[in-house]
Amino acid sequence: MTTIIYDGTYQGWLTAVFEIYEFKLKEVEFVRNQSTTNSLFATKHYVQSDETKANRVLKGLEKKLSKQGVTAIYKTFLSEVDQSDDVMWRFVKYVFDSTENIENDIGNSAVWDVKKAVKKVRRETHRMKAFVRFQLTKDDLYYAIVEPDCDVLPLIMNHFKNRFADQRWLIYDAKRKYGIYYDLETVRIVEINFQANVNSSKPLMEISDEREEFYQTLWRRYFNSVNIKARTNMKLHIQHMPKRYWKYLTEKYPDL
């Protein structure tokens, strides 16, 4: 068994795939951002992310898969499902070992696992587009805090850029400690170390615009006014809006 240790990026993983074939490695396991492994008898192979090697793997995949098939591998990477690296590797190996397109061979466990991961990412991406709630800071920056199950910020960048093109905004993933920031021209990934408790259901009042609490109160009152209690179906409500999202939804805040 060879333990493949890489930097945790998608480019790093693609580089690792290249080197598995380059060095003719057989049984492998992947480890992200770690210099040690619990496998006593495993041989360690350290991977330095290489754009040229990664692109060669991508080009090879593009020859054998549709655009959606190639994207499915990236979405599996973002899904963070259990043993996602192994799922991706089994899928890619099957692709390169086959003479025909294997995307719809759901009888193969790797293909099926990738499809399940993609479905999970698609659902989480849709929810993030619907459940992001911005708050206004004193310097006219709209910010939102999220904790998605999957690492979907790269997949929602263009959606929010197009929808809020005339506003500066930041969406911060409290679970993964990074965000996407739009400066009225481009969207870029940023890393931020918050001193405040970003997991609180209350806004960060020390940086919030003085009008923010007023607007949030209006939104909560509107939400409550259109909510007919006699027709409330909590089971259906939770199905469409799981409770894990509630702490960042303005309409779910208690009165401040």
Which range, of 6-10, 161-165, 243-247, averages the lowest pLDDT? 243-247
Q: Please give the share of the chain, as a percent, with pLDDT higher than 70.
A: 72
Confidence at 219, pLDDT banded by 50, 70, 90: very low
**Is the pLDDT assigned to residue 20 strictly greater than 80?**
yes
Confidence at 209, pLDDT banded by 50, 70, 90: very low
Does an H or E element contain 223, and which? helix 212-226
Q: Give the range of the structural domain holding residue 207, as residue numbers without chain letter.
A: 132-252
Residue 93 and residue 8 share a domain: yes
Residue 151 and residue 116 share a domain: no
Question: pTM of the prediction?
Answer: 0.79
Residue 64 and residue 107 share a domain: yes
Distance CA 27, CA 18 (A): 15
Confidence at 6, pLDDT banded by 50, 70, 90: very high
SS (H, E, C) 53-117: HHHHHHHHHHHHCCHHHHHHHHHHHHHCCCCHHHHHHHHHHHHHHCCCCCCCCCCCHHHHHHHHH
Higher pLDDT, 165 or 136: 165
**Is the pLDDT assigned to residue 248 strictly greater than 70?**
no
Distance CA 197, CA 177 (A): 12
Residue 89 and residue 118 share a domain: yes
Residue 187 and residue 74 share a domain: no
Residue 198 and residue 177 share a domain: yes
- If you average pLDDT over residues 171-183, what whole number do you get? 93
Residue 212 and residue 182 share a domain: yes
Count of domains observed in the chain: 2
Amino acid at 121: V
pLDDT attached to residue 108: 98
Residue 67 and residue 13 share a domain: yes
Higher pLDDT, 21 or 234: 21
Instruction: Answer with the one of 124, 149, 184 that is the final residue of a domain.
Output: 124
Confidence at 135, pLDDT banded by 50, 70, 90: confident
Residue 233 and residue 165 share a domain: yes
Instruction: Answer with the one of 124, 147, 163 that is the final residue of a domain.
Output: 124
Residue 43 and residue 66 share a domain: yes
pLDDT attached to residue 251: 46
pLDDT attached to residue 40: 61
Instruction: Answer with the one of 62, 97, 124 that is the final residue of a domain.
Output: 124
Higher pLDDT, 111 or 138: 111
Residue 23 and residue 65 share a domain: yes
Residue 76 and residue 142 share a domain: no
